[in-house]
Structure formats: C-alpha cells, structure tokens
A and B are shown apart, each in its own frame.
With several copies, the nearest count.
Chain A
Amino acid sequence: MDTETLENVYTVKTPVFEGPFGILLSMVEDRKLFINDVSLASVTEDYLRYINLLEKTNPLEVASFMIVAATLILIKSKSLLPNLELTAEEESDISNLTDRLKLYEMYIRLGGEIKPIFGKKIIFAPLERKQETVMFLPDNQITKENMMTLVSGVLGRMPKKEFIPEVEVKKVISIEEMIDNLTQRIQTSLRMSFKEWTGKGATKEERVTVIVSFLAMLELVRQGLLEAVQENSFEDIMIERQIEESVSANI
C-alpha cells in the first residue's frame, strides 16, 4: 500500500455542514417568526438564493436542499396565487415540512438546555482499583492468526473517504439557468403554456425541472416581468409577458 491510498482510506471526515432544516430555521428565526406557511413563504426567496450560492461553493450538497426547496415553492406559490388549488399530496408535503421543522426546532431548543450543563456537574465513576495480584488468564482464541485477522478486520471497518455520488451531480439544475431560459423563451413567444415548456413531470428528473421552472416563473412574476394566470385549479398555468398593462389586457 502506498501512503496516498492509506491516507484516503483511514480518514474519518467530520464535515461542518448545516443542512436544509438548519438553514431554513435560522432564516425564520432571524425574522423572529414562528414556523408556519406564512413565515416559510417569506423566507423562500432567501432559501433559494442560498441554494444558488451553495451550487457554486458546494454543488454536492445542493441535492439534499432541493426536496425542501420544492415544498417551499409550493408554499410560496400558494401565497402568490391564492386561487391555486393544491393536491392532497402537496398539502401533506407542506404540513409535513412545517411539522418536521417544528420537531427539529424542539430538539435544537433541548440541545440548548443541555449545552450549559454539559460537563459542569459531572458524576464520576470510582477510580480503577489497584489490583494486588494480577493473574494471567488467557483464552484459546488468542492466537497469532486470530490477532492478525481481528486487527485487519477492525481497520477495514473504519469509514472510508466519501466517494462522489455521480447521479446527484448530474441532475442539479441551476435556478439562474432556468430564469435565463424562461426570459429568453418568453420573448420569442408571447404566450406559452407552463406544461408545454416544462414537460409533463412524469419522471423524477422531470419533476425537478417542473419545480425549478415554476420557481423561476414565480421569480419573474415577482419582478413584474411575467404574469401567471391559472383559470381553474389543476389547469395549466398560462405565462404571459408583461409588456404594458393595456397590451396584456388585450391578449
């Protein structure tokens, strides 16, 4: 074994990394809000901006943030488009996220109670007693071969350096990319269907695309570049370019 491989094999990495819940929670807390739909809608953009940043510095971690992002977008879109009806699954995704955040917050609070008392009033076990006469009591399992097998076994079980999961690298879609794409296409066709543009959302990858596209669309709506219209629930959302009030009204 050369030293290079050894180094890779016997490293126990303890990355300092804040997960999606931690980020989201600190955003809600920064605004001194409680965890609910309203507060989550208000931090959605910050959260997405954070993902954008993370994409540049730590692209591997983005994937774990995307599932939460999807739910946040649902919450945000509901707040932007009050007539948007959510499916039962989507509704449960939302309440699931808020409940998980509440649970996580409870444990963080409990952690905060533990921190100040940890190591302050320690209960000690008695010191090891001095043995007057040590007997030698071996065991037939103590053989050279066994010792070698055991030591290599335990070394082999040490955590290996993490390998980069290729699948996850591929599917990450940049939000900026999507916004660019949307702006460009909106200029060529003034009116287009959301579904047409993003696909049907059948596979998992397509669904991620739908989510990110939807988010991009909402971002443009917010910026006043687009107007999203959904005439009836479950129906397609129509995206229109907001040129001037009078023009769009005529379409």
Chain B
Amino acid sequence: MNLEQKIEAVLFFKGEPVSRKKLGDILEAGMMEINEAIERLKISFEGRGIVLMENENELTLGTAPELSRLFEKMQKEELSKDLSKASLETLSIILYKNGAHRAEIDYIRGVNSSFILRALSVRGLVQKEVDPSDSRKYIYKPTFDVLSFLGVKSVEELPGYRDTIESLNKVSENLDEENKKSEESQSSELEKNENTI
C-alpha cells in the first residue's frame, strides 16, 4: 500500500480535517513525502464522487459539489444560506486575503467589524487563530465550512481568485507604503478603534 492510499484511508477514517503534519506523524513519513503524495492524491481524486478539500495545511474529504441538492435533502439540519452585505464584505476580505487581522478588516471596511466577525465565527464560516507570524495577534481564517458552502475545494478555486490577488496586492502595497509615511496618525487611529470595542 503506497503513501497516497494510506493518506486517503486516514482522511476517510477520521472524517474530519487532518493537518499535513498529523498525517506525517500517523504514517511515520517525512513532510516532503507527504506533500508529494498529496499532490498525486489530488490528481487521483479528479472526476470522482468524493472530493479532496484543502484549507491552509489541512485536508478533508467531502461529497462532490454537483450533488448538493441530493445531500441537502438527505441531511436533516436546516442550513442558513443568507449573508448580509456586511457579512459578504468581511467574508470576501478573509477569503481572498486567505486570513486577515481584525485591524486589517476594520481598516479596509472603515468600520468596526467585531460584531460581524463574531456572527461569522458562530456560524462557523471563519475561525479565529493565533497568528503564526506574530503570537500577540489573532488572525481570522476561512473555514472548511465556508469553502464547502461555496462549493470550492480550496481558496484558489474562488471566482476570480488569481486575477484578483494581483490587483489586490498592488493596491495593498500602495497603501502600506503610504501608511508607513504617516504611521503615527495611523497607529493612533487603530488604537482608538481597539478601545471602542
């Protein structure tokens, strides 16, 4: 039995997201081997009824999005499918940036986003995590659930993802530069936002 078969089996057995690192631990394989096997596994999942989803460093299996109607009928719980304007804005920031700090979200939207972020967390569409690059900060990330609701296997499959990322980065870089120039006034504004929560 080769590594990608084993990975497939582990994902099936667990039935919930498993990180690449955990796969390495369970299957006693190095990260490089795991990563290579996952790439091969992705290809072998093309055109099947089960899909392989990926979010950050985690993987999980799900049903093909084309069969949504069928499984919606088969599962009992009601799904809430509406998103307010504020939710959409906030979600699109978190999705297309693939994770954002609250300060960034507030800055882009020009308003305090704490309520909307809580509502999205309760719905399981975003999750708050400690920022791996700065442990004093929290980062809001897309969840598997939000990708599932959108019927995409990873953020890269979001509509217009590749085209948008470039133009988004360009504007963001411009802003970063400008902000560096007037950092003082900026930081005081952010502080003020933080205090009003």
Contacts and interface: CB of A to CB of B under 8 A. Distances in A.
Contacts of B189: 67
Given A138-B145, A142-B83, A148-B159, A120 B68 contact: yes
A187 B60 CA distance: 75
Contacts of B123: 135-138
Contact of A137 (B12, B51, B79, B160): B79
Interface in A149-205: 150-155, 157-159, 165
B82 A139 contact: yes
A16 B109 contact: no
Interface centre among B86, B88, B171, B175 (most CB of A within 10 A): B88
Interface string A112-130: 1111011111111111111
Contact of A99 (B72, B115, B178): B178
Contacts, number: 272
B150 to A, nearest CB: 6
Interface string B162-197: 011011101110110011011001000100000010
A19 interface: yes
Interface of B is mostly: helix
A68 B108 CA distance: 13
Interface residues of B, number: 81
B88 A122 contact: no
Nearest to A165: B196
Interface stretch (B19-27, B40-48, B92-100): B92-100
Contacts of A12: 107, 115, 118-119, 174, 178
A154 B109 contact: yes
Interface in A67-124: 67-68, 89, 92-93, 95-96, 99-100, 102-104, 106-108, 110-115, 117-124
Interface stretch (A3-11, A46-54, A231-239): A3-11
Nearest to B60: A125
Given A135-B124, A147-B96, A123 B88 contact: no
A13 B118 CA distance: 10
A111 B72 contact: no
B62 interface: yes
A10 B93 CA distance: 15
Contact of A108 (B89, B114, B163, B174): B89
B32 interface: no
Contacts of A58: none
Contacts of B16: 125, 129-130
Contacts of B14: 126-127
A249 interface: no
B152 interface: yes
B30 interface: no
Given A121-B66, A134-B124, A150-B91, 7 more contacts: A20-B111, A96-B178, A110-B159, A123-B64, A124-B72, A125-B16, A136-B124
Interface of B: 12-16, 51, 53, 60-66, 68, 71-72, 75, 79-86, 88-89, 91-93, 95-96, 107-111, 114-116, 118-119, 121-125, 127-128, 143-153, 158-160, 163-164, 166-168, 170-172, 174-175, 178-179, 181-182, 185, 189, 196
18 contacts: A12-B107, A14-B119, A20-B110, A100-B110, A103-B175, A106-B164, A107-B92, A110-B96, A119-B79, A120-B68, A122-B65, A125-B61, A134-B127, A142-B146, A148-B164, A150-B85, A151-B168, A158-B108
